[in-house]
Amino acid sequence: MPIVTIQQGPRGVEQKRELVEKVTEAFMAVLEVPAESVFVWIQEYPAESWGVAGKLTADR
């Protein structure tokens, strides 16, 4: 049973639906597992809660 965790900034529900669908399809194709066995968790973080290159994302 594959478990996928995606960490990202906030996105709309339609984008998340498509992302979960396509990630599931990729696991089905590569690992040859049924869709029912693929679990996708999306953890969203606001821009003030993460940074890159020494700066908060909110400040970029």
Task: Report pTM.
Answer: 0.85
Architecture of domain 3-59: 2-Layer Sandwich (3.30)
Which of 15, 21, 13, 46 minimizes the C-alpha distance to 4?
21
Q: What residue spans define the domains of the chain? A: 3-59
Give dist(CA 56, CA 40) in Å, integer: 27
Q: Is 24 exposed, middle or buried (0-12, 13-18, 19+ CB in 10 A)?
A: buried
- Please give the share of the chain, as a percent, with pLDDT higher than 70: 100
User: What is the reported pLDDT for 32?
Assistant: 97
Strands (E), the chain: 3-8, 39-44, 51-52, 55-56
Q: Is 2 helix (H, G, I), strand (E, B) or coil?
A: coil
